[in-house]
Amino acid sequence: MDMNQYIEIFIEESKEHLQNMNSKLLYLEDNPDDISTLNEIFRVAHTLKGMSATMGFNNTSHLTHEMENVLDHIRNGNMNATTEIVDVLFECFDKLENYINNIETEGTEGEDSASELIKKLASLKNADEDSTKGEALKKSENSIDDKFENSTIKFNEYVSNMITTALKDGLKVPLIKITLDDSCMLKSARAYIIISTLEKFSDIIQSSPSIEEIEDENFGSYFELVLVTKHDKEFLQKELDGISEVKSIEIDLLSNEDINVVTENSDIKKNDTVAKVHNDKKQENEQQKNKPKESKEVQAKKPKISKTVRVDIDRLDNLMNLVSELIIIKTRLEDTDSNNERQDTGEAIEYLERITTNLHDAVMKVRMVPIERVFNRFPRMVRDLSKELGKDINLIMSGEETEVDRTVIDEIGDPLIHLIRNSIDHGIEEIDKRIENGKSKTGTVKLSAYPDGNNVVIEVEDDGSGIDIEKVKNKAIANGVITSKDTQLMDDKEVIQLLFSPGFSTADKISDISGRGVGLDVVKTKIESLGGIVEADTSLGKGTKFVIRLPLTLAIIQALLVVVGSEKYAIPLNSIKEITTVKKTDIRKVQKNEVVLYRGSTLPILRLSEILKASETNNDNDEDEVVVIVKKGDKDAGLIIDKLIGQQEIVIKSLGKYLGSIPSISGATVLGNGSIALIVDTNSFF
Amino acid sequence: MSSVNQYVVFKLNDESYGIPINYVETIEKLIEITRVPNAPYYIRGVINLRGEVIPVVDLNKRFELEPINISDETRIIVLSFDEINVGILVDSCSEVVTLDSSKIDQAYDLITSFEDDYIQGISTLNERMIIIVDIPKLLKSNINE
């Protein structure tokens, strides 16, 4: 069956389950005795197991199965959820996340079968078993174990139930191990003879490898069968002895205890199976190498994963209502056209405008996702980091319900990870130092999000050592970013902004976590590509706060349409501070740059027609220039334009992959008359 | 190996060029092209094709030919390759021909000028010479720049 059509749903749901598992594991760590949390984790693991097995992702299902075993053990009170166990469970979680990510990007879960982890899980459980169960039991286990030595067979719940019932009914359940003669030519035919002989007087309930595989000759010369029969061992032996080309036959009658052992033993045995799976895969790989054409085809078939958004059904209903209203107003407009009544048209258009505004809002809301989806992964990260660094850190999150555009969700994760790592590694001091400075032992990192007008603000705040302004200055001079002369002219804010320049790091030692100086400039670039800004605020000894400001939506914005030369351009409204006129004579040249004295401070002036290489216009007669003052952070610049058209809502369209990024242009929009206006990227002017 | 393929034939400076028909999305009459400042020299601008913004390449500039004469015959051929949509500006475009791939002479045997990068081969049809353009090369070379 072709599973490709389900893969998107699989990935989406798996991610959701994993997210759930993550938060529950964190909770379990703090409350190891909470059975309901344990049950929840168990359920999630079980669901994942089922889903991945259906999709044929065996590594994932194996691993979740092992997790289930351990969890079940804890649940039954056989052992406690110690830190050690939770750590291993977290490792499993990471592995699972890896698998899912691999499936998303490459279509397969990867080669790694996680045998190490599975061993770890099994040993956790066994170690516990050994300590709880007595010596005597162990001995008896060993004796039973002999029966299953080298056995690859394992029972699922269904089969073991069947065996129990059969035994209750006084039937016999023999396990038969058959090795065929090495010289045997038609192994599957020989095996078939054996199976059909047995089927005459018994039911085969389990085989290893499976019957299908045996029929396909997909086995060495050894296979195992489990039967339910009323005949005894000797009878079976006699029946099978009559078949030639069989090297050896071993028959063991199973009892109730055996089943338990086999089901439990399967945990350990599975390591072998997993290893086998691994080998099989290798073989497959080699086969693929031999047939390069085929493998290429497989690659081409790789499913294309599209981005999805889960939408509240109410929001969709709302959309549907608006669309139906739109249809009504369309018919009404058609009617008024035929009647030619002006009054009605005006009214209808007003109505239409209201609907489109609502429709826009509704569509925007569909694209909105709570930022929780990004925040969710941080508690875990902070936990790991604080363990690694030996710092005591408390993460306080607020405003997780704040909604942002789906595109932002995908992009904002990495910058935030950078900032939080920075805070924990550089910001928060070592425990001794904190006590020395009279701070509480536990460092605090605050992560908060809130909407602010048309923006979303995300803050990362720590109560650590803060940034040493002098140190930054010295470092910047040493790195040749600025001269010592410059530093005298710079205020603290400007100095801090230096942190965001490429290759800048104040850390004295480079650690695993941060300090290589590739962090903050990457953060800045990323945020700016999303149309946002990032600022830092610090006070030495008290802490640092990074503030990220992002536009609420990326697809539709308010913009000011202007004329430059003979062309129309759009300037995003959120980057505009004000619009004014400046007398031509007031513009002065300072070292090739034009500036104007405006409201008591100097304002750099840029001519948009020069930047955009537009044709000159002849408005030399005018005394005034129209200047649009744009801002970025707390820097301003004045753009000289030729004419203002007005404010308009525009839909942002990308210029397409072919053009890539064009300097000073961030995109395009289609105007009402069908022509295109380019959107000016004012951020690039600073 | 010989197979028969269809090619859209267009004209640039009285020369006939052919492109495999599977790359052609639509052929449009000349519509308003908006200049894109700071774009590569051969980008004529962008057009609004039913709500989608599509860049248009001036092939005359790309192939370093005489500047194009805009006329009633001028067309924009919108190509689609690897999820990239690009328009090319051509003097005229009015026919689709069927060519036998064995009749296409490979370019590397023939010429070694600046053009040959984007030329797959040359074919003759009823005494006419048709230059076959290598679309993937033509479009991809820009992305790497």
Integer CA distances (angstroms), A515 to A160, A423, A447, A467, A507, in order:
57, 11, 21, 14, 5
Higher pLDDT, A227 or A442: A442
- The helix/strand/coil state of A634 is coil
Beta bridge partners of B93: B10
Find where tokens 């239409």 sit: A352
Number of separate domains in chain A: 5
Mean pLDDT estimate for chain A: 76
- pLDDT score recorded for residue B47: 92
Classify residue A477: in a domain, yes or no. yes
CB contact under 8 A, A670 and B32: no
Report the percent of chain A where pLDDT is more than 70: 79
- The helix/strand/coil state of A535 is strand
Mean per-residue pLDDT for A170-195? 74
CB contact under 8 A, A676 and B48: yes
In tens, the pLDDT along A311-335 reads 778 888 888 888 888 888 788 777 7
Point out the least confidently predicted range of A40-54, A523-537, B67-81, B111-125: B111-125
Mean per-residue pLDDT for A58-74? 82
Classify residue A276: in a domain, yes or no. no
pLDDT of A452 above 90: no
CB pairs under 8 A between A and B: 69
Higher pLDDT, A668 or A362: A668
Q: Are residues A237 and A329 in the same domain?
A: no
Classify residue A296: in a domain, yes or no. no
**Residue A514 tokens, joined:** 């941060």
pLDDT of A293 above 50: no
**Best interface-test mutation with B: which of A651, A657, A666, A681 has the largest number of B CBs within 10 A?**
A657
Q: Are residues A47 and A82 in the same domain?
A: yes
Point out the least confidently predicted range of A251-265, A311-325, A350-364, A663-677: A251-265
Classify residue A501: in a domain, yes or no. yes
Cβ neighbours of B84 in A, within 8 Å: 656-658
Q: How far apart are CA A384 and CA A29, in angstroms?
A: 12
Mean per-residue pLDDT for A524-553? 82
Classify residue A185: in a domain, yes or no. yes
Per-state percent for chain B, helix, strand, coil, to nearest 5:
20, 50, 30
Answer yes or no: are the C-beta atoms of A71 and A38 closer than 8 Å. yes
Mean per-residue pLDDT for A377-388? 85
A68 carries an active-site annotation? yes
Put simply, the chain A residues between 385 and 404 with a CB less than 8 A from any chain B CB are: none
**Residue A295 tokens, joined:** 């493998």
Length of chain A: 686
Higher pLDDT, A553 or B44: B44
Mean per-residue pLDDT for B82-110? 80
pLDDT of B12 above 90: no
Find where tokens 């053990």 sit: A73
Q: Are residues A111 and A235 in the same domain?
A: no
Point out the least confidently predicted range of A143-157, A467-481, A516-530: A143-157
Classify residue A294: in a domain, yes or no. no
Classify residue A650: in a domain, yes or no. yes
The residue out of A551, A577, A611 marking a domain boundary is: A551
CATH number at residue A108: 1.20.120.160
Put simply, the chain A residues between 624 and 683 with a CB less than 8 A from any chain B CB are: 653-660, 662-665, 668, 670, 674-678
Range of the domain at A434: 371-551
Classify residue A391: in a domain, yes or no. yes
- pLDDT score recorded for residue A298: 42
Question: Considering only alpha carbons, which residue of chain B is nearest residue A664?
Answer: B38
Q: Are residues A84 and A147 in the same domain?
A: no
Q: Are residues A566 and A432 in the same domain?
A: no
Kindly indicate the confidence band of residue A512, based on its pLDDT and cuts at 50, 70 and 90.
very low
Q: How far apart are CA A298 and CA A6, in angstroms?
A: 17
Point out the least confidently predicted range of A185-194, A266-275, A407-416: A266-275
Of the options 3.30.420.10, 3.30.70.580, 2.70.98.30, 2.40.50.180, the CATH number for the domain spanning B4-144: 2.40.50.180
- pLDDT score recorded for residue A142: 43
Question: Considering only alpha carbons, which residue of chain A is nearest residue B40?
Answer: A659
- Which of A149-163, A202-216, A490-504, A581-595 tops mean pLDDT? A581-595
Kindly indicate the confidence band of residue A562, based on its pLDDT and cuts at 50, 70 and 90.
very high
Alpha-carbon A474 to chain mean position: 39
In tens, the pLDDT along A590-641 reads 888 889 988 888 899 998 888 888 876 666 667 788 899 998 777 889 999 9
Find where tokens 């019957």 sit: A211
Kindly indicate the confidence band of residue B87, based on its pLDDT and cuts at 50, 70 and 90.
very high
Q: Are residues A440 and A525 in the same domain?
A: yes
Q: Are residues A542 and A567 in the same domain?
A: no
**Residue A396 tokens, joined:** 């306080």
Q: Are residues A100 and A146 in the same domain?
A: no
The residue out of A241, A266, A291 marking a domain boundary is: A266
Q: How far apart are CA B27 and CA B43, in angstroms?
A: 18
pLDDT of A289 above 50: no
**Best interface-test mutation with B: which of A666, A676, A679 has the largest number of B CBs within 10 A?**
A676
- pLDDT score recorded for residue A4: 67
- pLDDT score recorded for residue B145: 41
